[in-house]
Amino acid sequence: MIGICSYGAYVPLYRLAREIMVLEGKGGAGERAVAGADEDALTMAVDAILDCTKGMDRGSVEALLTATTSSPFAEKQLAAAAAAAVDLNDNIITADLTASLKAGLTALKLAADMVKAGSAKKVMVAATDCRLGTPLSPVESNSGDGAAALLVGDKDAIATIEGFYTFATDFTDTWRPATDKFVHVWSDRFTVAEGYTPMMQKAIAAAMKKFGVEAKDISKLVYSGPDARTHAGIAAALKFDPKTQLQDGLFGVMGNTGAAFPLMLLVAALEQAKPGDTILVAAWGDGVDVMLLKVTDAIEKARDRHGVLGYLKSKKMLPSYVKYLRLRHLFYYEASRMTPITPGLAQLWRERDSMYKLHASKCKQCGWLEFPIRRICPKCYSKDSYDQVRLLEQKVKVYSFSTDTIPTIPEVTDPPLGRAIVDFEGGARLELEMTDFGNIQDMKIGQPMEMTFRRLERQGDVAAYAWKCKPVR
């Protein structure tokens, strides 16, 4: 039976308390997740996929579909970049679904169709978003950053896909012109009353009729919404018990994560699901997609993931709203006097196995392990006699570290700047940038670290990414 075989998610470390945001003269309640200065939709998708494939052979994934409305590329495939970073095979199918907040659930349906048609045995779906609301707007306050990943296949499903319903509409409530970085909204007195509420209720009701189920048959109702107040009204109108059947929208601790939102809430539901549970999930955006899932006994094998709820347990509060603006590159600063660094595309291509896949070379003659990959062994000088070794799955610990507390580069908006020398359990030793390490006083020699794929600063118009290290969350 075709279904979800594994789940994963990613929530950034940083949180912004809404009470320190000036929103129409009032402070909001709760907090929202905020991506770091070196994070974007691509890096969060990579972390979610790694969480989803924990302990698995990623070489078995034959397709990757990504869903986002905030890709860092206007013309470059996000899925191909993510596939390279997590070291998937080169002959996989990759595709991006974008421009709609329900793109994640649509991608999940397309993944199931691919498996059913025999195009691929295992398809990864990653939904990720880092949308920008206009500063001091309700959209900025209600939004959050994050990603979810789901692996679809026809064997060992933890939740089988029992049905799918969809309808499309040209109703416009949120949109972003191609020339603007901020999401636009219309008055909710119109968009909620005429669009979201009646259309979501109608779609879920029609889907339940198609599936032959009633409200009492559903263990958990999962759906996206623009804000907590609007979201809460749907379940009650459809005769669901909000206290026992409605999945928490996580507005107070994470926020609306855009295209990733419905799948992140689904992951949160799967983290708490029991065998035999039925989950109805719906996504809003240019229409509504609805999917019915049945949880199997295999769900118990997926409990070792971070998931949404696991990542929400660790956080670092931002000290001010200005800090948030700097992380989002929305705070104007004096331009750097240093020479800009523009990575060479030829160099990035030649070193892709090291920079993207995090491969080291192991000499066949003397066993010396070297990173980045070198054609000539620095120990025995043998040439082109090496095997590539994957470092990503290996445990990492700190050998040494240092920081620069004086931010000399304005473009690097998250000082202090940290570097660490880390040892991999296989014997490799690397010097890397540190990220998300908080107070340097809390760092210790020998403490465990983990690898994370992040964006490099001062890169001009070239998309440059590499692996950094961070304390284990």
Pairing of strands 122-129, 63-68: parallel
Distance separating alpha carbons of residues 473 and 463, to the nearest angstrom = 27
| Ordered structural domains, the chain, with CATH | 3-327 (3.40.47.10), 345-471 (no CATH)
Q: What is the pLDDT of residue 438?
A: 85
Q: Say if CB 324 and CB 15 are below 8 A apart.
A: no
Residue 323 has phi, psi (to 5 degrees) of -60, -40
- Mean pLDDT per 10-residue run, the chain (473 residues)? 98 95 69 95 98 95 98 96 96 97 98 98 98 93 97 98 97 95 94 97 98 98 94 95 96 98 98 98 98 98 95 95 88 68 82 94 96 95 97 96 71 75 96 91 95 82 88 96
Residue 417's region, left for phi above 0, alpha for psi from -120 to 50, else beta, is: beta
Distance separating alpha carbons of residues 279 and 211, to the nearest angstrom = 12
Q: Within a 10 A sphere around the Cβ of 74, how many other Cβ atoms?
A: 6
If residue 399 lies in a helix (H) or strand (E), which one and from where to where? strand 396-404
- CA distances, 231 to each of 124, 333, 392 (Å): 28, 38, 39
Distance separating alpha carbons of residues 15 and 252, to the nearest angstrom = 11
Q: Say if CB 111 and CB 5 are below 8 A apart.
A: no
If residue 307 lies in a helix (H) or strand (E), which one and from where to where? helix 307-312
3-state secondary structure of 447: coil
Q: Say if CB 124 and CB 64 are below 8 A apart.
A: yes
Sign of the Cα pseudo-torsion (168, 170, 174, 179, in order) = positive
Distance separating alpha carbons of residues 420 and 21, to the nearest angstrom = 34
**For the residues of 48-63, what is the DSSP string, one character each?**
HHHHHTTTS-GGG--E
Distance separating alpha carbons of residues 340 and 91, to the nearest angstrom = 36
Q: Say if CB 56 and CB 6 are below 8 A apart.
A: yes
Q: Say if CB 71 and CB 78 are below 8 A apart.
A: yes
Q: At what angle do helices 228-237 and 197-211 cross, to 10 degrees?
A: 40
3-state secondary structure of 140: helix
Q: Which two tokens stand for residue 314?
A: 């660790």
Q: What is the pLDDT of residue 8?
A: 98
